[in-house]
Amino acid sequence: MLDRVPTAPDPAVDPADYEAVRRAIAFISEAWKSQPETEAIADAAGLDVRQLNALFRRWAGLTPKAFLQAVTFDHARRVLAASGNVFDAALDLGLSGPSRLHDLFVSFEAMSPGEWKQGGAGATVWYGVHPSPFGAALVMATARGLAGLAFADAGGEASALADMRARWPAAHLVEDAARTAPLARRIFDATAWRPEAPLRVVLIGTDFQIRVWETLARIPLGRAATYADVAAAIGQPAAVRAVGAAVGRNPVAFVVPCHRVVGQGGALTGYHWGLTRKRAMLGWEAGRLAAAAGVDHMVSG
């Protein structure tokens, strides 16, 4: 029987925001080719235009129209083309440029092959559900760092926990939202993203999966890579299908940015936690990048 999954309140995030954003994105996803007017998006979200504009500026730092442009196929295709060899570009960027200014810096540690084969036996995993810009976020942690991050729409928290529990089948899971709350704040508060204080992440998976997940973390904010790009980056260009499977099994959503992986040509392909949520993440990041570019502009101007 699954444990109760409580939600720890966070005054910095309004859970109603993502629900309204989700409705708007669902509509945009269907109607983007016609570039719908703001009034139509507002109506789909159950808001008036003033409320919609305020929501998107508060949530993403973008107007609804700018957000619409950021999640279209044409935009994804342009981003992909501009990214070039994204993994070489990541090395060139270092800590400079707007795409690194607001990046979520992480350090990785992999569970040993023996620990993976034992399903995390002997490990204690604490978990809690917290509000986030992308709906309810299930945060899981061990004494060594962040161990899992999943998302759920209202009522889906238990299913998300069951999914994540399967990643650590032999571990001892303990509900402790107070313990995971600081991690949730660290992940979703962009002001806390500092290279001198990287987020510690512990991964459990096969050697191949961990190589894929660590490679995903090299995709900078505002860039994109294809499955073929990832396969080439790990030195196995023929393993595109296996890379796709590993991307789908990513246990630390958002932090390991599998949402930045797109299909050949820029198509926004499926996402384990829902394609609407993937669009939300890309649009939210576009807002962070626009804010960073604004800072750069002010500094250079």
Report which DSSP code applies to 259.
G
* Stretch (H or E) spanning 202: strand 199-203
Check: CB of residue 119 under 8 Å from CB of residue 206.
no
Nearby residues of 286 by Cβ (< 8 Å), 6 or more positions away: 60, 62, 66, 67, 70, 71, 222
Query: How distant, in Å, are the alpha carbons of 92, 132, 249 from that of 46?
Result: 44, 21, 34
- Whether 258 is catalytic is yes
Q: Helix, strand or coil for residue 269?
A: coil
Distance (Å, whole) CA 105 – CA 253: 14
**Catalytic entry in 55, 138, 258, 262:** 258
Compute and round to an integer the Cα radius of gyration of the chain: 19
Residue 178 φ/ψ region, left for φ over 0, alpha for ψ in the -120 to 50 degree band, beta for the rest: alpha
- Residue in 196, 177, 179, 180 with CA at minimum distance from that of residue 188: 180
Other CB atoms closer than 10 Å to residue 8's CB: what's the count? Answer: 16
Residue 18 φ/ψ region, left for φ over 0, alpha for ψ in the -120 to 50 degree band, beta for the rest: alpha
Nearby residues of 65 by Cβ (< 8 Å), 6 or more positions away: 38
- Which residues have a catalytic role annotated? 258
